[in-house]
Amino acid sequence: ALETETANLSNYILPLHHTLESWGDASTYQGIYSLQQPVIEPIYDTRQAEAMFLTWAKADPTLYSDIMYHDYLMANWEKTVYTESKVSGKFERFWFKSLHDGVTVNKVKAQKVSSFSMGAFMGTTSPKTEAGYTLILKPSYSVADGRFAHNGWMQELPHPVSKVAWDNYAAVSLATSQKLDVNNDDMVNVTVGETTLKLPVFVQPGLTDDAIVVEMGWGRKLAGPVGSNGGFDVNPLRTEAAALSQWIMSGAKIEKTDGYYELASTQEHHVIDLEHIAELIEERELVQDISIEDYKKNPNLIQDKRHHVFSITEEWKYEGVKWGMAIDMNKCIGCSICTTSCNVENNIPVVGKDQVALGREMNWLRIDRYYSGTAEEPKASLQPMLCQQCDNAPCENVCPVAATVHSPDGLNDMSYNRCVGTRYCANNCPYKVRRFNFFNFRDHVANGFYQADSTEFLHNPEVTVRSRGVMEKCTFCVQRISEEKELARKEQRDVDGSRVVVACQEACPANAIVFGDINQENGELRQYRDHKLGYHVLEETNVKPNVTYITKLRNTHTEESA
């Protein structure tokens, strides 16, 4: 069993099945019931939690079996869900259909909702605040309250705003940092009551002045080889005396102290040197956004600004399927779920904080964050960036061994066993989306934890596990494309681009990503490609990218119009 802080303080340790090893059910909405069934045999010597409770309730440990909760669940569904459904036929047929579908829907009467009364809040008063700074504690975006600290993919997920990975920090506004005379990575002492904690600083534009925001869930001492001793434990700062709420402490003190702590932020890893070509870079609008007022005045504003380049040679025409993608910037919320899903789908390794600090993270898909406006009231733009599968891919021209070539359906393919690691392709890519395996990272991180036999189950068997010295990048989930091609061959039909759902698209909660066949006339992707707000990043370089971005519309009011 994994040694944890809680386990060390316990007299008994009961290892339980993982969710993917367990039976279960849920009702997310009235009348809607879903079933959970195991997809893998238990890897370790663990037990089903609910079956343990059933065993204890009957005070007979010999009753436990691997199918105990399955039988209980099945019997309960027969008495409740099946009876409520009033369907004809035997229960076994209903049960197996529910297992197949994963969900069953029963018609139920709508229940009345009690009215909301404002009177209950009229007598409440705001708590008294003390002079000083306000400390705001919040669960970590990636590791929550620490429960995901042993998950390397979550540790290495860049924070959606700061882009810091593997750490927490004291976030302060620009004005507060100037008052304290601190910059990023400087150390400060944060004091609440009698407790003082030393933390690194991160200057966050848009944060309110005189506030300190720190994420919890870090600083665990026993969280396995991946999650132990990362970040800072800020739980000691939680005191009832200074609490405005469970997570907000008033009267905090902060002062600069000696020391320096490097925070690994991925935001600055792929910038272009501005010293010599600043004016040229400013003209290249990587992220497009306009106000609704400007769009109403001229709906063709974005198209008028686009660079239309022409070739002096005859261009290749893709007669059949040609794969492409569209990303709607109005829908994207920058949550980075696409990044994590891509990592899981494509066997992307964890590299560790030291390598992230060197710019060697392996994420195929990153979320770039751009600021405009002032530090006090910035406007943030978030842009998913991945391989653009360019028609005139500059990476292909410089590879001396033809390890990256173009496919008949428009993909920029990688041949891993042909790559000799010159990295010319990464140097020639204007989007900086190629990743190089400087080490065998599965052996390099956490004392070889990811080389253990049990971690082999993490790997997608449809995707090659890359080795040291090999370049890699987004493949548009070529394994899923191949699956559709094989299915189309068996069914004796044409390949249907709308049937292919790539990993990032499948995971996106906002449906901001669309994937499919560019040549499919009535396809959803074609509508995005022809959209008046559509554009391609760095299209003036004539690389002909195949990822279309939809310009972000901002519904803002200027002081003049207000």
Give the pLDDT band of residue 504 (cuts 50, 70, 90): very high
Report whether 177 contacts 278 (CB < 8 A): no
**Mean pLDDT within 419-433:** 94
- Residue 404's contacts (CB-CB under 8 Å, 6 or more residues apart) are 393, 395, 396, 412, 413, 414, 415, 419, 425, 471
| C-alpha span between 324 and 318 (Å, rounded) | 12
Cα 263 to its chain centre, rounded Å, is 20
Mean pLDDT of 515-539: 91
Q: Tell me yes or no: is domain 133-265 CATH 2.40.40.20.
A: yes
Across the strands, what pairs with 182?
none
Beta-carbon contacts of 498 under 8 Å, excluding residues fewer than 6 positions away, are 516, 517, 520, 523, 524
Domain ranges in the chain are: 5-105, 133-265, 274-554
pTM of the predicted protein model: 0.86
The per-residue pLDDT for 126 is 59
Give the Cα separation of 499 and 338 in Å (integer): 19
User: CA–CA separation, 395 vs 156, rounded Å?
Assistant: 27
Contact 486, 514 (CB under 8 A): no
Taking each helix axis as running N to C, give the angle between helix 68-79 and helix 91-101, from 0 to 180 degrees, rounded to the nearest 10.
110
Report the C-alpha gap between 468 and 207 in whole angstroms.
41
Please say if the pLDDT value at position 557 is more than 90.
Answer: no
pLDDT band at residue 71 using 50, 70 and 90 as cut-offs: very high
- Segment 60-70 mean pLDDT: 89
Rounded mean pLDDT, 153-174: 93
CB atoms within 10 A of CB 501: 15
DSSP state of 245: S
pLDDT higher at 346 or 559? 346
Nearest-Å Rg of the Cα atoms of the chain is: 27
Query: What is the Cα–Cα distance from 535 to 521, expressed in whole angstroms?
Result: 19
Task: State how beta strands 211-216 and 133-139 pair.
Answer: parallel
> What is the per-residue pLDDT across 373-392, written as a single tens digit (0 to 9) for each?
887 888 888 999 999 999 99
Domain spanning 274-554: CATH 3.30.70.20? yes
Q: What confidence category does residue 562 fall into, taking pLDDT thresholds of 50, 70 and 90?
A: very low
Structure tokens given for 215 = 């994420």
- Whether 274-554 and 133-265 are alike in CATH topology: the answer is no
Residue 307 reports pLDDT greater than 80: no
Q: 509: how many CB neighbours lie within 10 A of its CB?
A: 10
